[in-house]
């Protein structure tokens, strides 16, 4: 049996909510929430959805490789149930993320599972005061929201800067999920000092969103490391990729009768606790040595003077490739190189710091690494021509 697809404008999250309700409860069309800015890149879906597909997440992510992830109603509801168990119960949600990303869509799914009406942030630049005003509209016994690190950092900065409503908003929530990228430990400490209950999440569209909270798998999720690469099994796994059997076969496999998803992330699992080291494909070879850019970035992001920062690869005539920091601030390059070299080796030392007014970001709030790499290349060309 099959069902039709229904494309919904993600700028209208209320409509996505209604469409998801029909898909989850009444066997309605599979929902495809779509961003208007990226809608033209997607060709028509080749066939009707299988009966168990309820949601399709379309994303090119920070690497620019497009994919359509098919999620069943069972996977979505299993994720919502596991999340409620980890957070201490169901409740009302504030949607502050785009509805076409899995973290945003799952806020709607959790609301449907809880029987509550979400409050919608809407479009536009993220403003801590607006976030606080919307938080005040929530009226259920238990309150939740999901943010990316940059949003949390802006609320914390506003609260520390004297915006009382921002601190009050953080404290109102019984739990705030933070995911999409690693959270700066300093930001977490500052947020918790304001009375915030945070849960960092790890997961992806292929796992129906976050399936590991603060390093611990939730529900019946199981995570293992195979040759230093993390694999995940459990009821929240996607059906696969729409119109892409080859990619589906590469990402999902069976072992001993158990279906596993190959994440592509480096990490380890010790005594049940998951540690993510970074993307296995986010590496460069500099002078014949492999450099994990996520590890360099972890150190760089601990330098306050650099502000918001990412580390990308840039071509180099001598070394082949070198790490480059793209940041909203600046710092002593020699000192930064010495610090990184001491911890990761000389090949990992950044070649330069490119200062920008604002870090390029995807609509999800994640850093746009492709755009950052282009900025790094442009700065390198300008230096060579000077």
pLDDT recorded at residue 219: 97
Question: Would the pLDDT of 239 be above 70?
Answer: yes
CB 269 within 8 A of CB 223: yes
Distance (Å, whole) CA 138 – CA 117: 9
**Which of the four pLDDT bands, split at 50, 70 and 90, describes residue 385?**
low
Report the DSSP pairing between strands 67-72 and 240-241.
antiparallel
CB 149 within 8 A of CB 202: no
Reported as half-sphere exposure (CB side, CA atoms, 13 A), residue 139 has a value of: 2
- Kindly report the pTM of this predicted structure: 0.83
CB atoms under 10 Å from CB of 216, counted, come to 14
pLDDT in tens, 249-298: 999 999 999 999 999 899 999 999 999 988 877 888 888 888 889 889 88
Which residue from 210, 215, 232 is spatially nearest to 276, judged by alpha carbons?
Answer: 215
Question: Counting every residue, how long is the chain?
Answer: 386
Higher per-residue pLDDT: 192 or 181: 192
Which residue from 207, 217, 208, 143 is spatially nearest to 175, judged by alpha carbons?
Answer: 143
């Amino acid at each position: 049996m099959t069902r039709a697809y229904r494309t919904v404008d993600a700028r209208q999250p209320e409509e996505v909510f209604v469409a998801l309700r029909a898909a989850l409860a009444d066997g309605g069309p599979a929902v495809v929430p779509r961003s208007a800015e990226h809608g033209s890149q997607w060709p028509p879906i080749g066939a009707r959805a299988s009966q168990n597909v309820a949601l399709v997440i379309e994303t090119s992510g920070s690497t620019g490789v497009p994919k359509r992830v098919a999620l069943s109603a069972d996977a979505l509801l299993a994720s919502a149930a596991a999340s409620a168990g980890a957070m201490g119960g169901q409740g009302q949600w504030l949607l502050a993320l785009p509805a076409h990303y899995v973290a945003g869509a799952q806020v709607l799914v959790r609301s449907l599972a809880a029987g509550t009406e979400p409050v919608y942030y809407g479009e536009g630049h993220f403003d801590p005061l607006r976030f606080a005003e919307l938080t005040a509209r929530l009226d259920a016994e238990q309150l939740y929201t999901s943010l990316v690190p940059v949003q949390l950092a802006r609320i914390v900065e506003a609260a520390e800067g004297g915006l009382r409503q921002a601190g009050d908003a953080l404290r109102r929530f019984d739990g705030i999920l933070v995911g999409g990228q690693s959270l700066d430990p300093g930001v977490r400490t500052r947020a918790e000092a304001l009375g915030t209950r945070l849960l960092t999440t790890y997961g992806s569209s292929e796992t129906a969103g976050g399936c590991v909270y603060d390093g611990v798998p939730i529900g019946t999720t199981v995570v293992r490391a195979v040759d230093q690469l993390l694999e995940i099994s459990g009821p929240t796994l996607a059906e696969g990729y729409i119109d892409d059997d080859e990619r589906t076969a590469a990402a999902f496999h069976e072992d001993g009768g158990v279906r596993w998803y190959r994440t592509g992330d480096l990490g380890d699992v010790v005594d049940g606790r998951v540690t993510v080291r970074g993307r296995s494909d986010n590496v460069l070879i500099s002078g014949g040595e492999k450099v994990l850019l996520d590890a360099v970035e972890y150190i760089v992001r601990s330098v306050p003077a650099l502000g918001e920062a990412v580390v990308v690869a840039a071509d180099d005539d001598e070394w082949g490739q070198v790490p480059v920091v793209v940041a909203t601030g600046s710092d002593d390059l020699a000192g930064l190189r010495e610090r990184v070299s001491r911890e990761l080796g000389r090949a990992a030392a950044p070649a330069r710091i490119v200062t920008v007014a604002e870090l390029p970001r995807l609509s999800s709030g994640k850093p746009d690494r492709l755009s950052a790499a282009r900025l790094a290349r442009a700065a390198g060309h300008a230096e060579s021509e000077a």
